[in-house]
Amino acid sequence: MKSIGLNLSGREYKILIGSDLLSETATLLREAI
């Protein structure tokens, strides 16, 4: 997924990584609960 982001523009790359981090954070929160 991150390799795809490298082919996108800087802004789209940041959005891709940002959403990736959000999904990881949501997973961690679900595991913590």
Query: Could you give the 3-state DSSP secondary structure of residue 15?
Result: helix
CA distance 29 to 9: 30
Residue 23 belongs to domain spanning? 2-32
pLDDT of residue 7: 58
More confident residue, 33 or 31: 31
Nearest one of 30, 4, 26 to 15, comparing CA atoms:
4
Q: How many domains does the chain have?
A: 1
pTM for this predicted structure: 0.41
Residues 16-25 as b or e (16 or more Cβ within 10 Å = b): beeeeeeeee
